[in-house]
Amino acid sequence: MANPFLSFKGRLLTVTLCITLVPMAAIATIYCFQARDALKHQILEQLKAVAESKRLHVRSFMEAKRGRTADFSSDGFIRNKLERVVHGGGLKEDAGIDLNEYLFRKKLPLDQHLLTIAIADRQGNIVSSTNEKLIGKDVSSHDIFVQGISRGYGEAYIAPRYFPYFGATCILSSAPIISPQDAKTLGVIITAYNLAFLNEITLNRVGMGESGEIYLVNKGRIMVTDSRFIIGASFNQVVDTEPVRRIVEGDKEMVGIYPDYRGVLVIGASLNVPEYGWILLAEIDEREAFKPVKTLSIAALIFGGVGVALAAGIGILFAVSTSMIIKELTDAVERLAGGELDYRIKTIRKDEIGSLMRGFNAMADKLSLEITEHKQAEASLRKSKEQAQTILDNTTAVIYLKDTEGRYQLINHQFERLFHVTKEEVLGKTDYDIFPKAFADAFRMNDRKVLDTKNSLVIEEIAPQDDGMHTYISLKFPMYDSIDGLYGVCGISTDITDHTRKIEKESHTPTRRQADK
């Protein structure tokens, strides 16, 4: 029987098969690389976004802990009791007991992450604490005391530190306790938080698959938070990987593919958190990340073995359709980046790419909603500001707001009209930039009374105007917000000059009976 491959038909078929196989293999290879690159880019961008979100979350948590310490330091009960303890006397011991009980019952339950609260006097001796073992300890040489006592009123210091009295690393925060009577520092309040609260941030792995994880590493290259794969890794596991080395040695953040602390290839993104000496990493196993591409490659090889013609047709169709999907995804990303927030991809696929499309649509929906809400919030805030300013500008009283340093933050139209100034000339300036020194001294003294006592004040004030000196009844009161506490003084001044002059004139004008005499 003749060999069919020796015939012209056989040779033509062989050549046809070879010609078909070459472009099919090339198309399949190119397609796999393109899909891999596109997917890698998409995953890296997603990991960067996740890492940035977690970094913001970490900073927000730390700022909340810092703010709580600052709030504690301004507590009137704590300041009064500490002043008794510091100044001594027969009530010193009772004041210490009251302070311990107050911290334990009123302050410690406010935050589930609080390990202990301690108060040290000016010499660094702990005089009160929710942990009785700390009372009497000398912390004057500790950074947390030195940093805390050097802060101003309403300021707090926070940092991860090893605390020998606990034998562990925790989040320590400190703030000065300042006497309201003489503004002298009485001591320092120190709060210790369990580092485990950071796990509440990093262990939330929504959208990270079966191998994705987020964790923190300190500059000593030790893992700070829990690992997904190693039990007890916190403060035991060394993470000497490329992204960690880059930040430690050159402060350079990184995204890419590299071996992680287990020696497994991962796709990851690293971000620096320099204020706390931490490095945040978001990673997912390369094997899981590229699983969709690998599945498609195997399918292409199987179809190629079934038959050249069928494989070629399916391969070309598959490559073209997938290229269209990738292009559609790319176009969608570009259109979304260009501002078309209402653009969505039609999703009819049920595979991983379909999940990616639905994920894109979900991301677009969320982004559109957030931008809409942000614009609405901005419009509402702008309207509120405009309404408030309109009300202020249409009153006959002089209204103004100053910060704690006496710098003007707000004035109304009546202030501009009476003193021949504009908002641009006044905002950020003090009374010394606007009024003669004698008047500025008086205004500043009254403002300080309000700030020191934290109480409203009604007082007569005199200000120069075009027709001479005018007398005002001024209501001044302290201004607070939920973040910074006391931040300024607001004043409402009403001109009573005409009324005063009328009274003075009547007191000097004789009555008719007096005139007859």
pLDDT digits (tens, 9 = 90+) for 385-412: 777 778 888 888 999 999 999 999 999 9
- Give the CATH number of domain 74-195: 3.30.450.20
Residue 95 CB neighbours (<10 A): 21
Confidence check: pLDDT of 181 > 90: no
Confidence check: pLDDT of 205 > 80: yes
Task: Tell me the CATH number of domain 198-289, given options 3.30.70.580, 3.40.50.300, 3.30.450.20, 3.90.190.20.
Answer: 3.30.450.20
Environment class of 512 (CB within 10 Å of its CB; exposed 0-12, middle 13-18, buried 19+): exposed
What is the edge-to-edge ordering of all strands in the sheet holding 168-178? 126-129, 114-121, 185-193, 168-178, 157-163
Euclidean distance between CA atoms 126 and 107, whole angstroms: 17
From residue 94, give the alpha-carbon distance in Å to each of 97, 134, 137, 283: 5, 18, 19, 55
Q: Which residue has the higher pLDDT, 308 or 431?
A: 431
Q: Tokens for 214?
A: 């987020």
What is the edge-to-edge ordering of all strands in the sheet holding 485-495? 408-411, 398-403, 485-495, 468-481, 457-465
pLDDT digits (tens, 9 = 90+) for 232-289: 888 899 999 999 999 999 889 999 999 999 999 999 999 999 999 999 999 999 999 8
Confidence check: pLDDT of 479 > 60: yes
Euclidean distance between CA atoms 348 and 160, whole angstroms: 50
* Whole-number average pLDDT of the chain: 84
Q: Tokens for 305?
A: 């073995």
> Which helix (H) or strand (E) covers residue 405, if one does?
none
At the topology level, CATH places domain 395-504 in Beta-Lactamase (3.30.450)
End-to-end CA, the chain: 160
Q: How confident is the model at residue 325 (pLDDT cuts 50, 70, 90)?
A: low
pLDDT digits (tens, 9 = 90+) for 37-81: 888 888 889 889 999 999 999 999 999 999 999 999 999 999 998
Query: Contact 258/268 with Cβ under 8 angstroms?
Result: yes
